[in-house]
Amino acid sequence: MDGMPATSDPVLAPAGGTAIEDRPIEESYDQSPWATIVWDDPVNLMSYVAHVFAIYFHYSKAKAHRLMMAVHTQGKAIVATGSREEMERDVTAMHEYGLWATLDRADAG
Amino acid sequence: MHKFKRRGGVISSDLNADEVGMLESLLHELIDLIGEGTDQAGSAGDADDPFAAWAEELADDRPVEPPEDPVLRRLLPDAYPGDPKASAEFRRYTDRTLRRKKITDAQVALRHLAETDGGRQDLRIPVEEVDSWLRVLTSLRLAVAGRLGITDNTSADEIASIPEDDPRSFLVSVYDWLGFAQETLVLAL
């Protein structure tokens, strides 16, 4: 991330997401846990990344900051877990905010 | 510009004419880039009939390849990097909506910039529309970073230390300016 100092910005009201039509039901059988992973990139500001985590996931400032630092120092971090559909929604939202996110099974390496 | 400040339900800053012009130009380029390959660029027709747009999306069975342009590829990344088939499926469902959302964000910013009357008035962003600005400033930073060849921390550091007479200097100052705008916008919230 770009090394501008992290902020103490307040948590805001939730941002609206983009609606995605649901998959055909046979693809929704997989209820095993999946994870949304956010990857570090050299462009996004630390303050911005923490802000996105706070407003989208409704995390506390402290948790949002901790996750942002994990992304920054470890190259990536799991920011949410849930069903595959939920994680696809989260990944899409992260892409709307310009973060680089992927999904994978929660128990994958 | 000075840093963004919040007063009640509005976040504002004073951009000069050059800054307004530069932002408008970057936003138009961004809209062109994202609108490529779709028939959405500049089109406001769908806004009045969301059902028609949605039906059109569902009917579209073409597999969607990742974009060739590296900036576009970063704006519309793969969701399943180890799995091209799953990524293509994901794109099929999300690509058009994601592009449209990014274009809409750019159009919100253009509307606010037009209201500055070429920088004569302050840029005023109602707090309920600030998310569009945050997202589009990120898109613009990613686009400029792409043009500067910033792909990792090493190239980011190299770009940060180029001398003033380097031909890329102007673009680097634009990149820094966008960072300042976004940073102060987040701080003002």
Q: pLDDT tens digits for A11-63?
A: 444 455 555 555 555 455 556 799 999 999 999 999 999 999 999 999 999 99
Closest C-alpha to A16, from A56, A49, A64: A56
Question: Which pair of structure tokens corresponds to residue B120?
Answer: 């004569």
d(C-alpha A21, C-alpha A27), whole Å: 13
Find tokens 């802000």 and name the residue: A51
In a domain, A27, yes or no: no
d(C-alpha B11, C-alpha B4), whole Å: 6
Do the chains contact at A100 and B57, CB–CB below 8 Å? no
Alpha helices in chain A (DSSP H): 46-57, 61-74, 84-96
| Domain count for chain A | 1
In a domain, A49, yes or no: yes
Partners of residue B183 in chain A, C-beta under 8 Å:
4, 45, 47-48
Low-confidence ranges of chain B (pLDDT < 70): 37-63
Partners of residue A28 in chain B, C-beta under 8 Å:
none
Partners of residue A56 in chain B, C-beta under 8 Å:
none
In a domain, A85, yes or no: yes
Do the chains contact at B134 and A48, CB–CB below 8 Å? yes
Do the chains contact at A100 and B156, CB–CB below 8 Å? no
d(C-alpha A7, C-alpha B187), whole Å: 6
In a domain, A11, yes or no: no
Closest partner residue to A91 (CB to CB) among B79, B138, B187 is: B79
Residue of B nearest to A15 (CA): B131
In a domain, A67, yes or no: yes
Predicted pLDDT of residue B41: 40
In a domain, A45, yes or no: yes
d(C-alpha A81, C-alpha A79), whole Å: 7
In a domain, A1, yes or no: no
Is the CB of residue A2 less than 8 Å away from at least one CB of chain B?
A: yes
Closest partner residue to A10 (CB to CB) among B58, B79, B189 is: B189
The answer to whether the CB of B14 falls within 8 A of the CB of B2 is: yes
Q: What CATH number should be reported for the domain holding residue A82?
A: 3.30.1390.10
The answer to whether the CB of A49 falls within 8 A of the CB of A71 is: yes
Question: Which pair of structure tokens corresponds to residue A33?
Answer: 């846990």
The torsion region of residue B73 among left (phi > 0), alpha (psi -120 to 50) and beta comes to: alpha
In a domain, A60, yes or no: yes
Q: Which of residues 25-44 of A touch B (CB under 8 A)?
A: 42-44
CB-based contacts of B130, cutoff 8 Å, min separation 6: B11, B185, B189
Q: pLDDT tens digits for A62-76?
A: 999 999 999 999 999
Alpha-carbon separation of residue B188 from A62, B71, B115, B121 (angstroms): 18, 29, 21, 19
Domain assignment of residue A69, given as a range: 41-105
Measured N-to-C along each axis, helices B84-114 and A84-96 cross at an angle, to the nearest 10 degrees, of 40
